[in-house]
Amino acid sequence: MQFTLLLLALVATVLSANIHPEFLSFMTKYNKVYNNDVEFLKRMEIFKNNMALAAEWSHQGEAQFGATEFADMTPEEFAELYLMPNLPEYERPEVASYPEVAAGGSIDWRTKGAVTAVKNQGQCGSCWAFSATENLESVNFLATGQLVTLAPQQIVDCDSAWYGCSGGWPYGAFQYLISFGGQDTESSYPYKAVQGTCVANKANIGATISSYKSIGKSDGEIVNALNTAPLSVCVDASRWYLYQGGVIQASQCGKSIDHCVQLIGYNDDGAYWLLRNSWGTSWGENGLLRLQKSGQDTCAMNDAVTTAVH
């Protein structure tokens, strides 16, 4: 009996010595609870692997990567739940032209009241619906003076041409909204992070859309369009699950689009684009991130830029 107790104490001591202290801090910060010891040890090992990746990625550029709320998930698990790894080929809509803006400027549409609060898509690859929704919210505000929070759940449930929580392109969301006649308000059609039955109601429409346009791929063309309204952009976000802050350099991400967000500003002095994500405010820089702006097409941000037209 005494030998057994001593053995158990020894095992406990060895286990505690091998517990990653940063993992315990991570669990406390994000209220992580695991079903059993096997799951705990599995998630701790994944966390340790992610911290090694974060250190490697941080050394590749200015942005810092580390222990976010997603740090106990493998890259594959995260992509399956939050990204769109199997998008169909992008079909570029008609490209619009905008008045040229002088170099050396900046804009942040939050300061102009044109951006709603940061949203959270949850474990659903609905970022395309959020990106389209956020763009229409801003375009509607600039046309009407009313900042109405709209319903991405409507697109997830009702746009049968695309894949709900499994992804789509924002221009597909715009096509649906044009055919329906507009987008319901968030209050009338709350977000659920799962694809369900369509219950859109034209009596609850909060904003309308007449058409949509694509933006050219150069930094200058995007800046010209961004000075008229925040835009919908799609990116390679495969490393973003560990992003903590700073300007992500082209050397710190790839070029395979798997996520969509809203482009809300830029700063030529800091050489960055300002984007709003849909993973809540605890991620990144209070839900935002910055990408290098220097003609590098950082994270493929220049490749699929669109906007609704009121």
Which one from 127, 158, 253, 299 is the annotated catalytic residue?
127
8 Å CB contact between 84 and 167 = yes
Instruction: Extract the tokens encoding 29.
Output: 């910060």
Q: What share of the chain is helix, strand, coil (3-state, %, to 5)?
A: 40, 15, 45
Q: Environment class of residue 16 by beta-carbon count within 10 Å: exposed (0-12), middle (13-18) or buried (19+)? A: exposed
Neighbours of 49 (CB within 10 A): 13
Question: Using CA atoms, how far apart are residues 245 and 257, in angstroms rounded to an integer?
Answer: 21
The strand pairing partners of 233, in sequence order, are 261, 305
Question: Using CA atoms, how far apart are residues 157 and 189, in angstroms rounded to an integer?
Answer: 10
Which one from 50, 140, 277, 302 is the annotated catalytic residue?
277
Which one from 158, 224, 259, 260 is the annotated catalytic residue?
259
Catalytic: 127? yes
Instruction: Extract the tokens encoding 37.
Output: 């010891």
Question: Using CA atoms, how far apart are residues 238 and 228, in angstroms rounded to an integer?
Answer: 29
Task: Specify the 3-state DSSP secondary structure of 47.
Answer: helix
From 141, 108, 126, select the one nearest 192 (Cα to Cα).
126
Catalytic: 259? yes
8 Å CB contact between 252 and 230 = no
Question: Using CA atoms, how far apart are residues 177 and 239, in angstroms rounded to an integer?
Answer: 31
Q: In which region does residue 297 sit, left (phi positive, over 0), alpha (psi from -120 to 50) or beta (all else)?
A: left
Instruction: Extract the tokens encoding 38.
Output: 């096997």
Q: Catalytic residue numbers?
A: 127, 259, 277
